[in-house]
């Protein structure tokens, strides 16, 4: 039987973590039902899939995208594409609820000019993880990354600009949003394996939305 990992939800707040990184606690908790409905609609057009990285490793996280461009990977490399390689169709348009959330969160964290044109949607099952990495396929690093967490809690690994540094471990709850940019735009970051649990809205899953501005 999965453990109950939940406790009294925190009040909304903004926690500066390091220069350029802010944790917006419970920022979108009340918006979660409409956000999850939007994600379901996206996934009905471009289903979640476990992508293969250039080394040949299959990622444990299920992924899809919405917006003008979508992030994808295979044995030939990492890149953004205008079309879903699985369906051959353009990625689904970014739902207005998601676009509005990204803009509000970026503004609250001190990045008022951010407008996302790409949203990577990650689905973490129990045990899924994301190794330390940089988000650097966007080419223009003047825009922040906005990362939204829904469902099961996670341990976010907040690194530095140097991969060899030991990352800080930060518990991320349902409705939290992390924003990083400026001097922290190219920090290494990841997610520790998801612990067994059950969330009333997402079941045994964590959903992560990562909004970016990709140079085109």
Q: Residues 176-185: what's their mean pLDDT? A: 98
> Is the per-residue pLDDT at 154 higher than 90?
yes
Sign of the C-alpha dihedral, residues 201, 42, 193, 186? negative
Instruction: Return the half-sphere exposure (C-beta side, CA atoms, 13 A cut-off) of residue 18.
Output: 14
pLDDT at 121 over 60: yes
**pLDDT at site 9:** 66
For residue 178, give the nearest of 5, 30, 18, 69 by alpha carbon: 18
pTM to 2 decimals? 0.94
Distance between CA atoms of residues 209 and 152, nearest Å: 14
* pLDDT band, residue 82 (cuts 50/70/90): very high
Which of left, alpha, beta for 88 (phi over 0: left; psi -120 to 50: alpha)?
left
User: Mean of the per-residue pLDDT values for the chain?
Assistant: 95
pLDDT at 3: 45
Residue pair 182/176 in contact by the 8 Å Cβ criterion: no
Residues 68-79 pLDDT 10s: 999 999 999 999
Cβ(48)–Cβ(39) under 8 Å?
A: no
Domain 13-212 in this protein, CATH class: mainly beta
What's the full length of the chain, in residues?
A: 216
Instruction: Identify the band that residue 216 occupies on the pLDDT scale cut at 50, 70 and 90.
Output: confident
pLDDT higher at 157 or 216: 157
Owner of token pair 């030991």: 166
Task: Compute the distance between CA of residue 191 and CA of residue 172 in angstroms, rounded to an integer.
Answer: 10
Q: What backbone torsions phi and psi does residue 76 show, to the nearest 5 degrees? A: -90, -10
């Amino acid at each position: 039987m999965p453990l109950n990992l939940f406790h009294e939800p925190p009040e909304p707040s903004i926690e500066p973590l390091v220069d350029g990184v802010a944790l917006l606690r419970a920022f979108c908790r009340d918006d979660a039902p409409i956000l999850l409905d939007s994600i379901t609609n996206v996934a009905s057009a471009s289903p979640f899939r476990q992508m293969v990285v250039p080394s040949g490793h299959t990622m444990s996280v299920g992924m899809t995208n919405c917006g003008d461009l979508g992030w994808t990977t295979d044995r030939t490399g990492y890149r953004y594409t205008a079309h879903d390689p699985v369906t051959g169709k353009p990625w689904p348009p970014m739902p207005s609820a998601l676009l509005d959330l990204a803009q509000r969160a970026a503004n609250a964290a001190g990045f008022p000019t951010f407008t996302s044109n790409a949203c990577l949607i990650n689905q973490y099952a129990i045990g899924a993880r994301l190794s330390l990495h940089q988000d650097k396929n966007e080419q223009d690093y003047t825009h922040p990354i906005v990362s939204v967490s829904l469902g099961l809690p996670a341990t976010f690994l907040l690194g530095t600009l140097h991969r060899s540094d030991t990352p800080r471990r930060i518990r991320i709850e349902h409705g939290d949003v992390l924003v990083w940019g400026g001097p922290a735009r190219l920090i290494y970051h990841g997610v520790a394996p998801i612990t067994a649990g059950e969330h009333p809205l997402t079941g045994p899953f964590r959903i992560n939305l990562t909004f970016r501005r990709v140079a085109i």
